[in-house]
Structure 1
């Protein structure tokens, strides 16, 4: 993992956290654009990561299991974060959302978990290049799960009665 990759990762996480902690419409298209971009980057990065490892070593079932487990952990953290987001209807009935301090802590825990997953993935290959390549896919899966669950919660919130 080189310093430019770390900087890019930190910038992406900072941007995500900034957006998470601001009041925004629930049906914000930018969220799904972000998820799409991260998914494409994730698939490309993992593909190149797998290729760079398989040029010298074969991947084991444990490696593939670790990759799948990483996606499951990302989805689980997305579900947890979705429960920490405040959801309400605005004055015009539009669904709004805003992350809390607990959301930020859940993000930090998620990042720590991802670092652990990356280390585990790399230990299964004997080469330290595949784990870090999963970061974009991890973010995409986690954000996707969170966004879908927040949308579901927003649909259940009733419009406040007129006074």
Structure 2
């Protein structure tokens, strides 16, 4: 994909994720939470323009820094998302004010990495941004599912009964 197409895909996915992040949503435990990050990562890697061929060492270092920032953003995003279970054992999620702060901090951090690169004459393409977003989304989704799994396994509702009692 071209750089412009990458940016359009990132903006569309970002709008979808943001719209879903800040509304109360029931979490489906069988959902393929890893699929969207995997697709984004595939397209980012397929493009082949992750690093600046004229500044290979510097761009690899900036890419690694960018991915470390993305990893941290994913962790912050996951642990600022409110996760709870209701009286039926269903798990719900919703972003908080701290989640919005994580988003803003993440945008500022990524802009700083890109700015440092530009000051050094290194151009990180939109594929690097897409890969970073895919990593953040993968980390966030995995950690939220892990947190939700702990809630689900700890839930014992008033209607819960062993399977052998159902046969009477």
User: Could you tell me the TM-score, scaled by structure 2's length?
Assistant: 0.76
1:35 to partner: Cα distance: 0.9
What residue in structure 1 maps to residue 135 of structure 2?
A: 141
1:127-161 CA deviation, whole Å, 9 max, x = no partner?
A: 53x24331111111111111121122112223265
Structure with a larger share of its residues in helix: 1
| 8 Å contact from structure 2 (residues 67, 135) kept in 1 | yes
| 8 Å contact from structure 1 (residues 26, 151) kept in 2 | no
Runs of at least 4 residues off by over 6 Å? 1-4
What residue in structure 1 maps to residue 17 of structure 2?
A: 16
1:115 to partner: Cα distance: 1.9
C-alpha distance 30-98 of structure 1, shift in aligned 2 (>3 A): farther
C-alpha distance 70-58 of structure 1, shift in aligned 2 (>3 A): closer
User: Could you tell me the TM-score, scaled by structure 1's length?
Assistant: 0.78
1:87-133 CA deviation, whole Å, 9 max, x = no partner?
A: 11234323222212321221122122112222333444x253x2433
When Rg is computed on C-alpha atoms for both structures, the one with the higher figure is 2
| 8 Å contact from structure 2 (residues 89, 157) kept in 1 | no
Alignment RMSD: 2.7
Unaligned runs of 5+ in 2: 160-168
| 8 Å contact from structure 1 (residues 118, 132) kept in 2 | no
Which of these residues, 61, 64, 76, is aligned with residue 65 of structure 1?
61
| 8 Å contact from structure 1 (residues 118, 131) kept in 2 | no
For this pair of structures, how many residues does the alignment match? 155
| 8 Å contact from structure 2 (residues 44, 50) kept in 1 | no
- Partner Cα distance (2:143, 2:40) in 1: 18
